A and B are shown apart, each in its own frame.
Chain A
Amino acid sequence: MDFIDYYKSLGLAKTASSEEIKKAYRKLARKYHPDVNPDDKESERKFKEINEANEVLSNLDHRAKYDRYGKDWKNGEEYERQQRQRRSTQGQGGRSQGSSGQGFADGNFSEYFESMFGGGGSGFRQGGRSVKYKGQDLNAELHLNLKDVYEDFPQVLDVGGNKIRVTIGAGIANEQTIKISGKGNLGANGGPNGDLYIKIQLKNDTSFHRMGNNLHKNIELDLYTAILGGDLLTDTFDSKVKLKIAPETQNDTKVKLKGKGFPIYKKKGEFGDLILTYSIKLPKNLTENEKELFKELKALR
């Protein structure tokens, strides 16, 4: 567990006045507030950091304790013990230090903070957060292979011990988020439950590149088939197709196979296209005989 420099978190000098602390905190809160930085883990971390700094520095007792013992928090425990003794001799040591009761999610404060000032239940504001009516939304990530979502993909998710059945629709995009209503945390006082947001992360280990609903693939053609034409059997995403190669096919020629691409999300039976690009492979390690024949061809041109 490391020492946290709360002054640095707020960009302040140790001599900062209460007014300066308040100002610095508000400015940074506007920058890193989670509601204006959706889906941004770094901002979320910064927001927690500045909230914690503010909890400590805006409270005179906490600030005094931190200034005195912050760098060597073990002495802070010593201080705490003395305080406790004093309190009990004065007969007012009844303040609960339990970790429940404030209703905010675990992990809002750092280990360092908890060791200096105790966990929740010690009377901190929750950053001024209003009491929730609707339950908290939950966010989850689901890692799938591209192949999985070529068809509808039923999945049972374990969210906080609850089994939730979902079907990921065929053709879902990478990093798309789906919302499952009412599967977040329970609401308060009869309020609606929060929602569950699942972000889909797709891994593509196929030879196809996906761009929107279209699939792209490179096809290597040998020089002779490209020049003379011929047939070629190639893979589509879920089967094979026989291609007719026209004589004198040029390098980088693109061929579009309509409807052989990826399924279109939420449009059953509709597909994007498969776009093939021919790359002509020139022969290597020619024999003397072949070289002679190429020279002959060259002379004819």
Chain B
Amino acid sequence: MEDQKLVLVQTLCTHYELEASFFESLEEIGLIILVRENEEVYVPEAEVTDLEKVLRLQKELDINLEGIDVIFNLLGKVESLQTELTLAKQRLDYLNRGI
């Protein structure tokens, strides 16, 4: 994690036309991790994908940040259920072999 690439919050603010305070709200809700170094605030590059997802959900579907947090949690759950389902299907295929 030490050599993770960071993007200045200021750069992102310019690009997406956002206020710096928006990033603090995201951090507070737990939608993003901010890194503070030498009085500058950064977003890890790996978080940019999620950030853009947040922006799309907010803009295109009018969902507030709390709602987006709920969606992210549910999507995580869906993903783990899908993995479980794949394993269960393999097991079923095996049990049904030759039928």
Binding site for B on A (CB under 8 A): 26, 29-30, 33, 35-36, 38, 127-134, 137, 173-175, 188-192, 195, 209-212, 216, 218
In the assembled complex, the Cα of A176 lies from the Cα of B52 at a distance in Å of 24
What are the interface flags for B76-93 relative to A under an 8 Å C-beta threshold, 1 for contact and 0 otherwise?
000100000011001101
Q: Is the CB of A133 within 8 A of B15?
A: yes
What are the interface flags for B47-85 relative to A under an 8 Å C-beta threshold, 1 for contact and 0 otherwise?
011001101110111100000000100010001000000
In the assembled complex, the Cα of A195 lies from the Cα of B52 at a distance in Å of 14
In the assembled complex, the Cα of A60 lies from the Cα of B50 at a distance in Å of 35
Q: Is the CB of B56 within 8 A of A38?
A: no
CB-nearest residue of chain A to B60: A128
Q: Is the CB of A211 within 8 A of B55?
A: no
In the assembled complex, the Cα of A175 lies from the Cα of B87 at a distance in Å of 11
Q: Given A195-B49, A211-B87, A211-B91, is A35 in contact with B7 using a C-beta cutoff of 8 Å?
A: no
Q: Is the CB of A191 within 8 A of B61?
A: no
Report the minimum CB–CB distance from B81 to chain A (whole Å). Answer: 13
- B16 at interface by CB-CB < 8 Å: yes
Q: Is the CB of A137 within 8 A of B60?
A: no
Q: Is the CB of B87 within 8 A of A192?
A: no
- B41 at interface by CB-CB < 8 Å: no
Q: Can you list 15 A-B contacts (CB < 8 A)?
A: A26-B62, A29-B60, A30-B61, A36-B57, A128-B60, A129-B60, A133-B15, A134-B49, A137-B49, A174-B90, A192-B7, A192-B45, A209-B93, A209-B94, A210-B90
CB-nearest residue of chain B to A212: B87
- B36 at interface by CB-CB < 8 Å: no
Q: Is the CB of A192 within 8 A of B61?
A: no
CB-nearest residue of chain B to A181: B46
Q: Is the CB of B60 within 8 A of A175?
A: no
Q: Is the CB of A36 within 8 A of B71?
A: yes
Q: Is the CB of B94 within 8 A of A216?
A: yes
B79 contact set on A, CB distance < 8 A? 38
Looking at the complex, which one of B5, B16, B75, B91 makes contact with A130 (CB distance below 8 Å)? B16
In the assembled complex, the Cα of A210 lies from the Cα of B87 at a distance in Å of 10
Q: Is the CB of B61 within 8 A of A33?
A: yes
Report the minimum CB–CB distance from B18 to chain A (whole Å). Answer: 10
Q: Is the CB of B60 within 8 A of A133?
A: no
6 tightest Cβ-Cβ pairs between the two chains A and B? A134-B48, A209-B94, A133-B15, A192-B45, A211-B90, A35-B53
Q: Is the CB of A33 within 8 A of B57?
A: yes
Q: Is the CB of A174 within 8 A of B16?
A: no
Report the minimum CB–CB distance from A144 to chain B (whole Å). Answer: 16
Looking at the complex, which one of B15, B48, B86, B91 makes contact with A131 (CB distance below 8 Å)? B15
Q: Given A36-B75, A211-B87, A216-B94, is A129 in contact with B56 using a C-beta cutoff of 8 Å?
A: yes
B61 contact set on A, CB distance < 8 A? 26, 29-30, 33
CB-nearest residue of chain B to A39: B82
- B12 at interface by CB-CB < 8 Å: yes
Report the minimum CB–CB distance from A188 to chain B (whole Å). Answer: 8
In the assembled complex, the Cα of A218 lies from the Cα of B87 at a distance in Å of 20
A26 contact set on B, CB distance < 8 A? 61-62
CB-nearest residue of chain B to A38: B75
Q: Is the CB of A127 within 8 A of B60?
A: yes
Report the minimum CB–CB distance from B26 to chain A (whole Å). Answer: 15
In the assembled complex, the Cα of A192 lies from the Cα of B59 at a distance in Å of 22
B5 contact set on A, CB distance < 8 A? 192
B60 contact set on A, CB distance < 8 A? 29, 33, 127-129
A174 contact set on B, CB distance < 8 A? 86, 90
Q: Is the CB of B15 within 8 A of A189?
A: yes
